Structure formats: C-alpha cells, structure tokens
Structure 1
C-alpha cells in the first residue's frame, strides 16, 4: 500500500506541475495576444486553439486532483448523519458510479483520439494533429479514475484506523 501511495503522490505532483505550466502558458498567450492586438495591431490567431485545448487539460487534471481529496462529487449533507457502516456503503456506491462515468469518458475520449489518428485530421491554424489535443480527455479521465480509487482506499483506511 505504501508503494501505491508513493506512486499516487508522484502522479499528483506531476499533475500539479502540468497545471502550473499550463496556467502560465495560458496567461502568457492571452496577455501576449491582447498586447499584440492593441500595440502592434496583429492578432495571434493560434492562441485560440492552444488556449481552448489547454483549458480542457486544466479542467480534467484539476478535477482529478479534486477526486483525490473527495471534493469533486461529494454532497455529504445526508451521509454525514448516517452510521459509519452505511456511510461506507454510500462511499463505495459513489466511487463505483464515479469510476463508471469516468471510464465512459475515457473510452469515448480514446475512441476520438484513435479516429482522429486514423483520419489524420489537423487543426486549422497550427496544422497540428487534432489527436494531440483530444488525448487530454483520456489522460484526464485516467487520472480521475486513479484518484477516485485512491480516495476510496484512503477513506476506508481512515475508518479502519479510527476503530
């Protein structure tokens, strides 16, 4: 279990690093484009493609980190008032449903990536393969699945320690 936790901590650290770099990238691109339009009177047409794709990445990785803390899909108004055993059942059910939904997201994202690789579709302005940007969906979904499971295992471990 300690090895698993070390791996998950490393994954979370990598996710945080990617989020920091992506946020700075969006900031630089957006401010640079505004500066370029207002001062030089030239628009950076490529920024829209990059910023939208990076926002998808940021959204999914931030959601994955929220899953790690149990903060993504968690309304505890009712479950906090239930006995520990019943709460554990609800946590298991919530984890199963969340992982199932995210697995569907992963599957359809991966299908889209494979289709775009086969079709060779490219972006309009940068002329990059579109599958690169669509790969953010299955990557984010995989991270979310891992963190949903991590949260469940951590929560069960905490309840066992409390006894």
Structure 2
C-alpha cells in the first residue's frame, strides 16, 4: 500500500506541474493574441486550437485531482445525513459508479484516438495530428480512475486522516 501511495503522490505531483504549465500557456496565448489583435492588428489563428485542446486537459486533470480528495465522489448533502454505518458503503457505491463513468470516458476517448490515428486527420491551422489533442481525454480519464480507486482505498482502510470525516 505504501508503494501505491508513493506512486499516486508522484502522479499527483506531475498532474499539478502539468496544470500549472498549461494554465500559464493558456494565459500567455490568450493575452498575447488579444495584444496582437489590438496593437498589431494581426490575430494568432493557432491560439484557438491550442487553448481549446489544453483546456480539455486542464479540466480532466483538475477533475482527477479533485477525485483524489473525494471532491467528485461525495455529494455531501446526502452522505452527511446518512448514519455512520452507511457512509462507507455509499462512498464505495458512488466510487464504483464514478469509475464506470470514467472507464466509459476512457474507452470512447481511446476509440477516438485510434480513429484519428487511422484516418491521419490533422488540425486546420497548426496541421498537427488530431490524435494528439484527443489523447488528453483518455489521459484525464485514466488519472480519474486511479485517483477514484485511491480515494476509495483511503476511505475503506482509514488512510489519510480518515477521509470520510472530512
């Protein structure tokens, strides 16, 4: 269990670095494009493709990190009102349903990536392979699955200062 926790901590650290770097990238591209349009009167046409794709990555990685803390798993309005003996089973049920959703998201994301690889479709402006941008969906879904499992194990085995009490 300790090795698993160390791996998950390392994954979370990588995710946080990716989130910081991609958020800064979006900031620089968006501000740069606005500056370019208003001052130089030339638009950076490639920014829309990059910003939309990177925003998908940011959304899914942030959701994965939220899963790690139980943010997407619990609907506290319901679970806080349950008797103590039903809290753990409800977290397990909600986690299983969330994992099923994430597996479906992963599967359809991988199907889209494979289709894009087979078709060789490219983006309009940057002319990059579209599978690169679509790969953000299964990456984010995979991270969500891992963090959902981590959260469920933490709740079931009482790790991390008894997460169900949070």
TM-score norm. by structure 1 comes to 0.95
**1:73 Cα offset (Å):** 3.6
Q: Distance in 2 between matches of 1:122 and 1:60?
A: 23
Cα contact 2:56–2:136 (8 A) shared by 1 = yes
Aligned to 1:150, the other structure's residue is in SS state helix
Matched, 1:56 2:17: no
Q: Distance in 2 between matches of 1:82 and 1:15?
A: 33
Matched, 1:94 2:94: yes
* Aligned residues between the structures: 161
**1:86 Cα offset (Å):** 1.4
Aligned to 1:108, the other structure's residue is in SS state helix
CA RMSD of aligned residues (A): 1.3
Matched, 1:129 2:129: yes
Q: Distance in 2 between matches of 1:28 and 1:76?
A: 37
Q: Distance in 2 between matches of 1:56 and 1:78?
A: 29
Gaps of 5+ in 1: none
**1:75 Cα offset (Å):** 1.1
| Cross-structure match for 1:143 | 143
TM-score norm. by structure 2 comes to 0.93
Q: Distance in 1 between matches of 2:96 and 2:73?
A: 12
Q: After superposition, give the CA deviation of every residue in 1:106-135 in whole Å (9 maximum; x if it has no partner).
A: 000000000000000000000000000000
| Cross-structure match for 1:15 | 15
Gaps of 5+ in 2: none
| Cross-structure match for 1:29 | 29
Q: Distance in 2 between matches of 1:73 and 1:89?
A: 12
Matched, 1:47 2:55: no
Q: After superposition, give the CA deviation of every residue in 1:12-66 in whole Å (9 maximum; x if it has no partner).
A: 0000000000000000000100111111111100000000000000000000000
Matched, 1:118 2:118: yes
Q: Distance in 2 between matches of 1:85 and 1:96?
A: 18
